[in-house]
Structure 1
Amino acid sequence: MSIKEKAQQRASWLPSGQTPAGARYKTLADQIAAAIASGELKPGDRLPPQRLLADALEVTVGTITRAYKEAERRGLLEAKVGSGTRVRGKHSDEPNFHHLSKATGDSIDLSLSIPIPCALRERQLSAIMARLSEQPSALHNALEYQSEKGNPEQRKQLAAWLSGQNLHIDADELLLSIGGQHADFLVLQSLIRPGEAVASDALTYPGMIACARQLGLKHLPVSMDREGMRPDALERLCERQRVRLLYLMPEHNNPTAAHMSEQRRREIVRIARKYDLLILEDGVQFVSAELRGTPFFELAPERAFYIFSVSKILSGGLRFGCLRAPSALIPQLAAGLRAQFWSSPGIVGAVACEWLASGDADILINWQNQELAARHALLEQVFRGYDFHAHPCGFHAWLHLPEPWRASDFVEQARHRGVTLVSPEPFCVGTQPAPQAVRICITPPTSIESLETGLNRLRDLLAEGPSPTAPLV
């Protein structure tokens, strides 16, 4: 029996029909897509190892590698260290937001990083809209077509509020966006070409992972420690590959809550200048001025972007934010905005900017910070003795699970106890293996009593250990 015949017998899947020797990678990627569409390949199915499939099809291993990478870029496959290449499921490596609807019965949601629910938020919004309704000129201005960069008056109001928070940004440096996620996408789409590389912490915001995948970018993970991205790992990566942009959350990483020191920030800037990297800083998770480090746009104004959004302080549903950009790159970004949807909605900006300028937002932020302090104190009390990390302004904690727990089993067993968590896979960049850790969000419960109940259930689960009926993987 030939090597080809042996390989064909062992392969878990082969393309339907005859595949000629030397078939190009895109042809095989198309065949993978057709097999998934027909149901021949199902979510979770493992594709044959690359060498085995190469032997079965009598093509080079390089052809199979490129085919798998192309299918992964299309969102069809996912590759993880230790588990091979599999067909992506609907849950796969992106967060499933089915739990955005209100929890019922005894279910407690600790999975979503959202502002703490409170009646004050709704009352303030009602008052803001009433005040706007009495300002005909403001309404007229908001309902007109806006410039690509956004309403000039709103940019001035936003710059003034940010400067009051010790984020000294000029209005001319700002472009208004439909939230932070949109600003991420705008920078990548406008400045990075398909196939080019961007880098981030090995564990990072799933929205950034989705943006890079959607745009066909090579998203590379960089090793982390308690301060986030390691400069030595970044420099080694830049020596091997051409990286165009760094995505960072230096105040507290999502999901690990790592906070970057001033020395670490300056070392990252040194490497960025040496290898000509752009720096995209995500500041959506708002941190009070006294706890915030130096933003990268102050350390390297010629190459650093800064993203701000009202989603964590006012409302996630408001969808309003801004992007601070180097002046030389603003024309490209403005062109990108114009091509996408012309400009951000004026009426949404009017509500958000009036909310910020009125002083009501500061009252809401102060209340939320006080509530966060109480919730973090509870977190410390409940998980004393366990390995977890959190930031005082953060909406979540990162809990390292003790042996023999595995994250997938912990999430599943927590669900049976009436607590919803997100597994670590959505935060993993590329082939980064999922750690045995979970993100615990402390903000979704309306009351601190409900949060305490949920945290106690998780603590009891940790103490009891995995159920003997739950398979460890």
Structure 2
Amino acid sequence: MGVDMDLQQKARERCNWLPERELPPGPMYKALVDQLASDIASGKLLPGVRLPPQRLLADALGVTVGTITRAYREAERRGLVEARVGSGTRVKGKTEALPHFHHLTRAGQDSIDLSLSIPIPTPLRQQQLAASLQRVSSRPSAVDEALVYQPEQGCPTQRDQLCQWLESQGLQMDPEELILTEGGQHADFLALQALVKPGEAVASAALTYPGMIAAARQLGLKHLPVGTDSEGIRPDMLERLCQQQRIRLLYLMPEYNNPTGQRMSEARRSAIVEVARRHDLLLLEDGVQFVTAEYRGTPLYKLAPERALYIFSVSKLLAGGLRFGALRAPANLMAHLRVALRAQCWSSPGLMGAVTCQWLADGGADALLNWQWEEIRARQALVQEILAPYELSAHPCGFHAWLRLPEGLRAVDFVHLADGRGVTLIASEPFCVGSQPAPQAVRICVTPPASREALAEGLQRIRILLDEAPAIPAPLL
């Protein structure tokens, strides 16, 4: 097909960016992305600059629109650009490509840390871990099984043991439905990488787990927010979004959302499943924020087994450093997950799984968890008692509470003020999806202090700050 030279010349004159030299042989879209990356690195293209519309650039270069679309998608996957409906494709700033995580050692030595969602410190954990290590090491067959290369789905014995323990907790799963992972964050990343293509869209609550935000960004996926109410994601708003955009996967935490504490009723879960089936959405349920069976609703994989995945991890139950978890998935998706996991790490570490499953099988873990649930309930009661006049949302078994600040208080300023009083908190910004405005709220984690007394002291300091709020001068702009 001939090229209209006059049209091409006019298009070139209207483009604010064009490759300055002849592109090397090979796939045109890759060469375009490489040139784009070079111009961004050299400073020829500055953050925020809008790239030419796809049709215009295609006419200017004498290529198909499909070639430009593919180039822009690859550039977005690499973190070079960002595409937004209504504002085109723009060059990303250097800091925009980096996930907004808080380091685990943020709290000062003398600060009461209420920022981290971790198991409650207790010497019992170390004692039980030591006993589990000793039992594994005393069984040569267990050591031999743990030290060899594992199948992609993980050691069959460990999957059987994990399923037995999960069933004792009210979660029935088949070992063939599980693929073992290096914790919940790995399961998040694995599911996205295996099941969602670069440039495709995923959705979640407008406020969600920062690890999910980081994983979607790292993989070059569009991450779209869905509006919520007191029960979490609203089905009508999810329906509307699906009518406007092609969504591949919905990430959600039905038991209680991190950070807001919202819980889904049975009716809400069923309504979400109906929307998912209507628009062919995959459902990724994050169960890392584990709760006891008495508070747990029907998992989505029971309501929609053909499209629902479930993430489990021992990070909140036994120890974050164990890095052991599992992803439940339908049989039709398992092959994609196995291939992706092999490319990432071959398999989950056999020794880590052996120690964790031994710990669960010994029975000591159950006693530890029962103690932790009781302690968390008591700590949540403290939160409600000390911060009673203020707007809180939390779960009785939740590791955190969500505090909405009084009018006139900004979250970032409140976190700074709390730090000055020796209390470490996290504001709402890291939990915000996309360009959603951050609400004036902070997350208060009840589990890091070693004692209820230390937690109560931290909460009292927060209460004093809240009571002083009318007298706190507004920050200078």
TM-score tier, shorter chain, comes to 0.7 to 0.9
* 2:105 is the alignment partner of 1:99: yes
Q: Is the 8 A contact 1:33 1:71 kept in 2?
A: no
Shift of 1:417: 1.2
AA matched with 1:425:
E
Shift of 1:470: 2.4
Residue segments in structure 2 that go unaligned for 5+ positions in a row: 1-13, 20-31, 59-69, 85-89
Q: Is the 8 A contact 2:99 2:213 kept in 1?
A: no
Aligned residue for 1:199, secondary structure, equals: strand
Question: In 1, Cα distance between the equivalents of 2:73 and 2:465?
Answer: 39
Question: In 2, Cα distance between the equivalents of 1:174 and 1:226?
Answer: 32
**Counterpart in the other structure of 1:23:** 18
AA matched with 2:247:
V
Higher mean C-alpha deviation, range 293-302 or range 140-149: 140-149
Q: Is the 8 A contact 2:76 2:220 kept in 1?
A: no
Shift of 1:91: 11
Counterpart mapping for 1:404-415 below 5 A? 404-415=408-419
Question: Could you report, residue by residue, the CA deviation over 1:150-194 in whole angstroms, capped at 9, with x for unpaired residues?
Answer: 000000000111111111101111110000111111111111110
TM-score with structure 2 setting the length: 0.84
Change (3 A) 1:419 1:75: farther
- Among 454, 466, 472, the alignment partner of 1:467 is 472
| Total equivalences in the alignment | 436
- Among 330, 334, 346, the alignment partner of 2:334 is 330
TM-score with structure 1 setting the length: 0.85
* 2:166 is the alignment partner of 1:162: yes
Counterpart mapping for 1:63-462 below 5 A? 74-75=78-79, 87=93, 89=95, 94-99=100-105, 103-105=108-110, 107-462=111-466
Shift of 1:99: 2.1
Q: Is the 8 A contact 1:93 1:427 kept in 2?
A: no
Higher mean C-alpha deviation, range 20-29 or range 448-457: 20-29
Change (3 A) 1:186 1:91: closer
AA matched with 2:337:
L
Aligned residue for 1:97, secondary structure, equals: coil
Change (3 A) 1:250 1:33: farther
AA matched with 1:221:
P
Q: Is the 8 A contact 1:78 1:86 kept in 2?
A: yes
Question: In 2, Cα distance between the equivalents of 1:77 and 1:420?
Answer: 34
AA matched with 1:332:
H
Counterpart mapping for 1:38-53 below 5 A? 47=48
Change (3 A) 1:187 1:98: closer
Question: In 1, Cα distance between the equivalents of 2:396 and 2:251?
Answer: 22
Aligned residue for 1:307, secondary structure, equals: strand
Question: In 1, Cα distance between the equivalents of 2:229 and 2:139?
Answer: 51
Question: In 2, Cα distance between the equivalents of 1:59 and 1:144?
Answer: 53
Shift of 1:361: 0.8
AA matched with 1:304:
A
Aligned residue for 1:193, secondary structure, equals: coil
Change (3 A) 1:461 1:183: same
Q: Is the 8 A contact 1:93 1:425 kept in 2?
A: no
Residue segments in structure 1 that go unaligned for 5+ positions in a row: 1-18, 61-65
Change (3 A) 1:79 1:358: same
Question: In 2, Cα distance between the equivalents of 1:458 and 1:441?
Answer: 13
Higher mean C-alpha deviation, range 397-406 or range 67-76: 67-76
AA matched with 2:394:
A
Shift of 1:358: 1.0
Q: Is the 8 A contact 1:109 1:445 kept in 2?
A: yes
Question: In 2, Cα distance between the equivalents of 1:112 and 1:263?
Answer: 32
Identity of aligned residues (%): 60
Change (3 A) 1:150 1:291: same
Change (3 A) 1:68 1:255: farther
AA matched with 1:199:
A
Change (3 A) 1:98 1:183: closer
Shift of 1:35: 4.0
Change (3 A) 1:179 1:306: same
